[in-house]
Amino acid sequence: MNKTIYLLCAILLFAGCTGLHAPAVQDARLYLLDAGAAPGSLPERRNLVIAVGMPHAQPGFDTPRIAYVQQAHELSYYALHRWVAPPAHMLAPLLVQTLERSGGFRAVVQAPGAAMADLRLDTELLRLQQDFDVKPSREQVVLRVQLSDLHSGRLLASRVFAESEPAPSEDAYGGVIAANRALQRILEQLPEFCVHAVR
């Protein structure tokens, strides 16, 4: 028994002396969904409080993994590139900031905890993927947005926003840049949609 232990120790010591190392593991690269440019102030303003609900995502897009497609009906993910959080989670503060900066409402709050709100904005991420079936590849961003009156429970408006943006490079980072540009265009349209939905 002791001989076996000594033999194992000798093998391990020899392996350490010969410079054998475990294979290097690449760290995942993390990316933000942070479309930055805010729309200008709207000419119209509603004296209402709007609550922004936590966005949801369709299956396949409710993950921090960055999605791409190479052929129809097949969703793939980059191995070493991820969003810092599921994209739907990163959308919530962007929606709040966009509506605040537009000046279209008396106040913008994030649900839950919005007991005094008049309106509620609900968002669903339908698609966020880099499409390699076209050249150059294109990022597709599709959001379904619904605005409801919290007092009556009535749905005031619903719309699907869809934008596509060519990727500046054929890799994950190119897709991330294109995703933020496409999302920026959607956010620019959002305040006007919300204000006009309230008659």
What pLDDT, in 10s, does the model give residues 156-169?
A: 999 999 999 999 99
What is residue 185's three-state secondary structure? helix
Q: 125 is written with which tokens? A: 């991420």
- pTM value is 0.82
Q: 130 is written with which tokens? A: 């880099």
Cα separation, 84 vs 52, whole angstroms: 21
What is the mean predicted confidence (pLDDT) over 140-148? 97
- The residue with tokens 């993950």 is 63
Q: Helices marked H in the chain — which ranges?
A: 2-17, 87-102, 172-197
DSSP 3-state percent helix, strand, coil across the chain (nearest 5): 30, 35, 35
Q: What is the pLDDT of residue 88?
A: 96
94 falls in which pLDDT band (50, 70, 90)? very high
pLDDT in tens, 15-71: 444 454 444 446 779 999 988 655 667 778 889 999 999 999 999 999 999 999 999
CATH code that applies to domain 30-197:
3.40.50.10610
pLDDT in tens, 59-71: 999 999 999 999 9
Q: What is the pLDDT of residue 28?
A: 79
Q: Is a pLDDT exceeding 70 seen at residue 1?
A: no
What is the mean predicted confidence (pLDDT) over 112-134? 91
Which DSSP symbol is given to 37?
A: P
Cα separation, 13 vs 61, whole angstroms: 48
Cα separation, 142 vs 198, whole angstroms: 23
Cα separation, 116 vs 113, whole angstroms: 9
